[in-house]
Amino acid sequence: MFDNKDSDIFILKNKAVEVQAFIDNIEEKKENIGGQIENISSISEEFHYYLIDIL
């Protein structure tokens, strides 16, 4: 049986795993946003050249 100390350590370890998963999720979202920003920049640049061509 767990005593209070063991139980607290077990709970803290589980919370640490949850926090790490949350951080990993944020990192993945940051990477996705970075990719979207690159795509927007590329589209913006292409549109700029398109406007130059038609003007």
pLDDT digit string, tens, across residues 19-31: 999 999 999 999 9
Q: CA of 39: how far to CAs of 4, 16, 25, 32, 42, in Å? A: 52, 35, 21, 11, 5
Establish if 33 belongs to a structural domain.
yes
**Average pLDDT score over the chain:** 91
Query: Which pair of structure tokens corresponds to residue 4?
Result: 């209070």
Domain count along the chain: 1
The structure's pTM equals 0.64
Range of the domain at 33: 21-55
Phi, psi of 3, deg, nearest 5: -90, 175
Q: CA of 27: how far to CAs of 12, 36, 43, in Å? A: 22, 14, 24
Establish if 29 belongs to a structural domain.
yes
pLDDT band at 13 (very low <50, low <70, confident <90, very high): very high
Establish if 13 belongs to a structural domain.
no
